[in-house]
Amino acid sequence: LGLWATASDEGTGVFVAGKKLASIGVALRRWVNLHGIAINVDVAPDAFAGIRPCGRSPDLMSDLSRALARKVTLDECKAAARKALPRLLGL
């Protein structure tokens, strides 16, 4: 979507301008690998106010809509992921 994202040495996720826009999870349970991603597309500003996401301050969290300063839809995000993932995975 045109954002420059970075990783963080302080935890898993995707960060833009110091704000966390996506979370990445990996776990192993009973010899089964569980993994996933959660991308914040258009989240209410106070959505994280009552929790500590990944043990961090709720102020760290943001979403694509705020980072791009425009409304981003879930369909737009899905289309961008479908286009980018094969290239990123070397397929």
Which residues are the active-site residues?
54
Contact 23, 41 (CB under 8 A): no
Closest to 3 in 3D by CA, of 66, 74, 45, 86: 66
Identify residue 46 by its one-letter amino acid code: D
Closest to 22 in 3D by CA, of 14, 12, 30: 14
